[in-house]
Amino acid sequence: MHNKAIIVDKLSKQFGDFKAVDEISFEVAKGEIFGFLGANGAGKTTAMKMLCGLSMPTSGNAMVAGFDVYKDNESIKKNIGYMSQKFSLYEDLTVRENIKFYAGIYGIASAVIVEKTKQLLLQLNLEKEADLLVGQLPLGWKQKLAFSVAIFHEPQIVFLDEPTGGVDPITRREFWNLIYDAAAAGITIFVTTHYMDEAEYCNRVSIMVDGKVEALDTPANLKQQFNVQSMDEVFLHLARKAKRTE
């Protein structure tokens, strides 16, 4: 119990007749990098929204960072970070202003913000760009900055919804280095992606098909289980069975 960051038990979300998420169950350990895969329309985003407290489950149970998704919505929000597939910083604010704003709405004290901003800019090598508008930065830098902002308040878990969409392979690699650093610092990473090479970087992955979790294991074990060479093939093998399309 204490070394689990997320515990999901038969969690479902129904929209009318449509079961977007159908009794999924899994656990994520603290400090783990957990890949949450699935084709478009498989129910990933809906499941993730329930875990982030953005959407109420229809049935089942889930504990996130030790809090119940039904009752402790507000406590969950304080203890998680979230970065969505759409770019999430404000283009007409400077790097520094963006950091200050997001840190501010998480209630971090001003003195702490100033100090941590300095460290972060140093770490990302963005000191010269601190007072540039975010809109002037290249996409890869923005993504890295967005991730750093998402974990600025030192959450227990960070949810990343397709964080590397549209980014070149080198930047993606750098982005994953940031993820590894965060995981090493004890932050649990819950990430969705469409890139199967990224799935290989995860400690464990789950693959959702038509609202259900069809497979869940380490990448190595999954490849062995399906007797294939790459995660790509594992994914195709499972996703082909899907009846739903977007």
Partner 1 sequence: MYKVWMKFSFIWQEKQNVPNSMKQFYHFIVKEFYHIFRDRKTLFILLGMPMVQIIIFGFALTNEVKNTKITIINQSEGASAARLVQKIESSRYFELYSQSTDAAQIDRLFKKGAVKIALVIPNDFDPSIVNQNKGQLQIIADATDPNVATALTNYLSVIVQDFQKELNSNNTIPYKMDVEARMMYNPQLKGAYNFVPGVMAMVLLLVCTMMTALTVVREKELGNMEILLASPINPIKIILAKAVPYLLLSIINITTILLLSYFVLDVPINGNLFLLYAESILFIMVSLGLGLLISAGTDSQQSAMFISLVAMFLPTVMFSGFIFPIENMPLPLRIISNFIPAKWFFIIVKSVMIKGVGLKLIWKETLILTCMMLFFFGMAIKKFKIRLA
If you search the block for the tokens 């990098």, which residue do you land on? 33
E strand or H helix that includes residue 51: helix 44-51
E strand or H helix that includes residue 237: helix 231-239
CB 175 within 8 A of CB 144: yes
Decide: is 107 part of the binding site for partner 1 (CB under 8 A): yes
The amino acid that residue 191 corresponds to is V
Decide: is 116 part of the binding site for partner 1 (CB under 8 A): no
Decide: is 159 part of the binding site for partner 1 (CB under 8 A): yes
Rule CB under 8 A: choose which of 36, 67, 102, 141 binds partner 1: 102
Contact flags string 199-238 toward partner 1, x per CB under 8 A: ----------------------------------------
Six token digits for residue 66: 């030790």
Six token digits for residue 64: 């996130």
Q: Of 55 and 61, which CB lies nearer to partner 1 in the complex structure?
A: 55
Rule CB under 8 A: choose which of 35, 43, 53, 219 binds partner 1: 53
Decide: is 151 part of the binding site for partner 1 (CB under 8 A): no
DSSP per residue, 176-216: HHHHHHHHHTT-EEEEE-S-HHHHHHSSEEEEEETTEEEEE
Decide: is 87 part of the binding site for partner 1 (CB under 8 A): yes
Q: Which residues in this chain contact partner 1 in the complex, by CB under 8 A?
A: 52-56, 74, 77-78, 80, 82-88, 90, 92-93, 97, 100-102, 104-107, 109-111, 133, 159
